[in-house]
Amino acid sequence: MKHLGAVHEFLGMKIDKQEDSYFLSQRSYAASILQQMDLLHYKPLANPTCTKFPATYPIDKHVNDHSLYRCITGSLQYLTLTRPDIAYNANQLSQNMHDPQPQHFYMLKRRLRYIKGTLNFGIPITKTNLLLKSYSDADWAGDPVSRKPTSGYCSFLGDMIISWTVKKQHTVARSSTESEYCALAALTTDIIWLCRLLSEFGIPQNYPIDIFCDNTSAIALTNNPVFHARTKHIEKGQKFIRDHLQQNNIRLLPISTIDQTVDIFTKALSTPRFLKLRNNLTVLQDPQIAGEC
């Protein structure tokens, strides 16, 4: 083995060390993705999603190159290692890799034009408290074709985001409560793993982990063992969450939908709200470049 000194770059991830912090980004990797699509000269966008699609789509020279679509979409998945703000978009694009249509290439270009304007963005690692907290959300029947919900959740260690997930649920939910509840069950599993990992690093979480959810019905269902006809089919997951509630491993807390950070993982948002939630995720511009500006 050879000591190569302080790390500056690892597998396309740039690691900048400041006086009392680190900054993780993938500027060079993101620029190479733009170059593959010949988008370096395009104007950037402030929001990668759109709440309303156009009636017709512009002619794109890449529209028949399905292999390029798959290649770029896979690259965007890797880019989410330091860019949780595009996790929802990468998830949406990945669902159409088998047969991308003109509208999917339109969506792909919007994502890339957003990345062009945020090449210097990444996530900071700063000195903070080491208390774990998590957020959970789900978009009920968000997929217009399958009507399956999209789960989104993330965890913070102090002020640093350390884990995030965007995933379409496997089954169609019969209510928003059910979709939110399934997202809570998935997050609880992730929290158990995070707590074990942190314990191995000597950072035990000897307190109930706060989980913030904006669906009061899902919280009530978790705390109330009484079931009715609409919830019999999710009893197994309910017992799983209740066990950890009773063992004081987790604590469910309500949060306003306005303050729900993981809305950015489950749906297309207006630009002002997207920018606000991006800041909540601590996806920021490289402080060195921001200082030069």
pLDDT single digits (tens) 249-286: 999 999 999 999 999 999 989 999 999 999 999 999 98
Looking at residue 14, its pLDDT comes to: 93
pLDDT tens-digit profile of 80-129? Answer: 999 999 999 999 999 988 888 888 898 999 999 999 999 999 999 998 89
CATH among 3.30.420.10, 3.30.70.20, 1.10.3720.10, 3.40.50.300 for 129-255: 3.30.420.10
CB 48 within 8 Å of CB 12: no
Decide: pTM greater than 0.75.
yes
Tell me: pLDDT of 230 over 80: no
Sequence ranges of the chain with CATH classification 3.30.420.10 = 129-255
Over residues 128-175, the pLDDT tens digits come to 899 999 999 998 877 777 788 899 999 999 999 999 999 998 888 878
What pLDDT shows up at residue 277?
95
Q: Regarding predicted confidence, which is higher, 119 or 226?
A: 119
Average pLDDT of the chain to the nearest whole number: 88
Mean pLDDT across 200-228? 85
Nearest in space to 22 (alpha carbons), one of 103, 126, 115: 126
- Which DSSP helix (H) or strand (E) runs through 251? strand 250-254
CA 99, CA 64: separation in Å to the nearest integer? 10
pLDDT of residue 34: 92
Q: What pLDDT sits at residue 226?
A: 63
Which one is predicted more confidently, 234 or 257? 257
Spatial CB neighbours of 280, under 8 Å, sequence gap ≥ 6 = 261, 264
State whether residue 15 is helix, strand or coil. strand
Res 206 pLDDT > 70: yes
Question: Is residue 219 a contact partner of residue 136, using CB atoms and an 8 Å limit?
Answer: no
**29: closest CA among 123, 104, 115, 117?**
115
Kindly tell me the sign of the dihedral angle through the C-alpha atoms of 178, 181, 185, 191. positive
**How far out from the chain centre does Cα 279 lie?**
13
Per-residue pLDDT band at 237 (split at 50, 70, 90): low
> Given this model, what pLDDT does residue 174 score?
75
Q: Choose the weakest-confidence range: 32-41, 82-91, 186-195.
A: 32-41
Say which residue the tokens 């959740």 belong to: 153
